[in-house]
Amino acid sequence: MSVEFKNSETKGNLMRAFAGESQARNRYTFSGKQARKQEYYVIEQIFNFTADQEYAHAKLFYEHLRPFMGETITVDGGYPVDLQEDYCGYVHEGTEAPKECPNCHHGQGFFVRLTLAPYTKASDDK
C-alpha cells in the first residue's frame, strides 16, 4: 500500500524539519551578532558558519516542498516537550524551561530537551 507524498507523514516531517532548521538559523545568526557586539569575533564566525549550515538544510527541505506551494500548511513544533535539568535530573513539561529548577535552584540554562539529555533512558533509545 503506497501513500501519495502530499498526504504522507514524510511531507509533514519535512515541513517540521524546514521550520526547525529555519528557527535554528535565526538563533545562530542572533548569537553571532551578540558575539560580535562583545568582540568575540572567532565565536561570531563559528555561529555564522553554523547558521549557513542550517540555511543549507532548510533550503534542501524547502526544495522538496516546493511542489506544494500555495497550499495551506500547518507546522507543529511538537510542543510541549519534556525538559530535564542537567544537574539534578528534574523533568519539566512545557514550552520553555522554568527560570529556576524547583529542585536544585539552578538556572534556566541547565535545562535541555529530555531526548537530548545525557545519561537518560530517552537519549539511549536513539
- Whole domain around residue 102: which residue ranges? 81-124
pLDDT in tens, 66-113: 887 776 655 556 667 888 998 898 999 988 889 999 999 999 989 888
Q: How many domains does the chain have?
A: 2
Q: What's the pTM?
A: 0.54
Of 63-67, 98-102, 119-123, give the range with the top mean pLDDT. 98-102
Q: Domain of 24: which CATH number?
A: 1.20.1260.10
- pLDDT tops 90 at residue 115: no
- Specify the DSSP class assigned to residue 100: B
87: domain CATH number?
2.20.28.10
Q: Is residue 119 part of a domain?
A: yes
What pLDDT does residue 126 have?
A: 44
Question: Cα–Cα distance between 61 and 53 in angstroms, integer?
Answer: 13
The β-bridge partners of 85 are: 111
